[in-house]
Structures are given as C-alpha cells and as structure tokens.
Amino acid sequence: MTFSIVARSEDGESWGVAVASKFLAVGSAVPAAVAGVGAIATQASANVAYKGLALAHLDEGATASVALQRLLEEDDGRDHRQVGIVDVEGNAVSHTGPACFDWAGGVTGDGFAIQGNILTGPEVVDEMRAAWEGSAGEPLERRLLAAMRAGDRAGGDRRGRQSAALLVVRDEAGYDGLDDIAVDLRVDDHPEPLTELARLLDLSDLYLTASTDDEKVEIDAALADEIDNLVKRAGYPDLTAWTGAENYEMRVSHDGTWIDQLVLAILRDQ
C-alpha cells in the first residue's frame, strides 16, 4: 500500500524518510528518524513498534542489518512486514516479507533503502533509485522528494494516491536551532499528495530554514529607513512586529542588523 525511501545525506549529517500511499495520513505510521542515530520506514502490514525498537537498537550501536534482524526475530508477523533502515554510518537494509501483496520489493545502495508494496511494478523502485542517484549534491529533503515523485510518475501505489510525508533530522536543524527536526511535513488526504508536499517544502524552506550568509542583506541606515516606511505602510509599528506577524523570524536577525533578500523583496512588493 506504500512506497518509501529512507536515506542518509552525503555529508553524513542528516537522515530522513519520504513516503506516499493510498492510505490516510501515512506519515503517522511509517517514518521515524533520530539525528545521529538513523531512520526507518515500516509499512505493508506496518508494525509501528518497529520505529522505537529499531531506533533504540541503532542508538545502542547496532548496524542497520543487525537492527533489522532483531526486529524480524521478535515478530511473528514478519512475513507481512516491509521495512527499510539506514544507520548512522549510512548502512542500509530493506526487507519485504513473502506475504506482502504484489508488486512488492525494494533496493538498497550506499546510504539509501527504497521499498514499496502494492505497486504497479518494479519500475517504481527502479525510477526512484535513478532519481536519487541523479540528484547527488542536492539537500537530503530535495533528493528524497525527487525520488518519491519519480516513483509516482512510474505508477506508484497501484490503488491510487492519498497521502505523503517527509521527515528529515539533523543536529540543531530545527526551529531556532532548538531541536533536530529539519523538515517534518505531512499531507494526510489530498488527490495529489506529492505535489502538495513539494509546495509545503518550498514554504518550509522560506519560513523554517535559517538564511545563509549569501542570502543576508545588511541593514544600513538608508535601508533601515526604507524598511521602517514599508512596515508602517503595511500597518505595523516596526520590523519586529511585521516579522512576527508574517512568521519570518528565521529570515530576519533578532538585532535588526540584516534581513533575508527574499523577505526584503516580499516586503517591498506588499
């Protein structure tokens, strides 16, 4: 009922899962990840307990293959399970139980595991792998999404589309650097869930990703005057008030010394 990719970034600093299915809120059941530990997708007849168990095994030093072996040994329903795991070092494994509904299968490589069941055919995972390998150098969340969209174009879940999710973790990558959640997006019920997920990822980059040095514009006296006039024209007393109302806290400095170039353009266009 589901196809997914579990992966580690090329630089070894991020882990993530992307998944789609003809199933309500697939993101609530399939993906889990912990920065500096690894990531897992559990699907088919999903055993959601696998998420906590696998991450605990990985955190204790088990490799992906050892963690998978322990999960399957302890589960009488193993023949109905499908799971992909990537560990802290990028070792990847994928399991498809013989009782999973056709087409079901998976593929692994350096730093990634791709798997799916009730698919239109093996071309789904083949195209996902090609898209993953062809997007080298891109951020992990973009590579995961590219793989999913390729699998969807190849046929995806043969029952249709309903939900999708994207989870990426990295040390101190969360809001204001206070947790490790770089991306955590879900489309629970939508006719084109991966298209909607792509739209949400663009918004997440804008609102929840810190500006790079190249994106920062220094606020000198002249620009400060311009910004002051712009925010007052928009109905706000100062830049801080406008920033808070528009949720651009990650894109404007707390001390007012710089503003993101895109956010400045948005302010000017209001």
Helix (H, G, I), strand (E, B) or coil at 214: helix
Is 203 in the same domain as 249? no
Residue 165 · residue 27 · CB < 8 Å: yes
> What was the pLDDT predicted at 177?
82
Domain boundary among 190, 208, 226: 208
Cβ neighbors of 212 (< 8 A, separation 6 or more) are: none
**Distance (Å, rounded) from C-alpha 165 to C-alpha 181?**
14
Is 181 in the same domain as 229? no
| Number of compact structural domains in the chain | 2
Is 85 in the same domain as 189? yes
Is 190 in the same domain as 254? no
Handedness of CA 193, 194, 199, 204 (dihedral sign): positive
Place of tokens 């799916």: 116
Is 106 in the same domain as 180? yes
Is 262 in the same domain as 130? no
One-letter amino acid identity for 37?
A: V
Residue 210 · residue 262 · CB < 8 Å: no
Is 31 in the same domain as 145? yes
Q: Please write the tens of the pLDDT for every residue from 209-266.
A: 889 999 999 999 999 999 999 999 999 999 999 999 999 999 999 899 999 999 999 9
Residues 8-25 have a mean pLDDT of 98
Residue 1 has pLDDT above 80, yes or no: no
Residue 114 · residue 132 · CB < 8 Å: yes
Is 71 in the same domain as 187? yes
Domain boundary among 208, 229, 245: 208
Residue 172 lies in domain:
2-208
Is 25 in the same domain as 101? yes
Q: Which residues share a beta bridge with 170?
A: 14
Q: Please write the tens of the pLDDT for every residue from 78-133.
A: 999 999 999 999 999 999 999 999 999 999 999 999 999 999 999 999 999 999 99
> What was the pLDDT predicted at 270?
87
Is 236 in the same domain as 169? no
Q: Which residues share a beta bridge with 165?
A: 19, 186
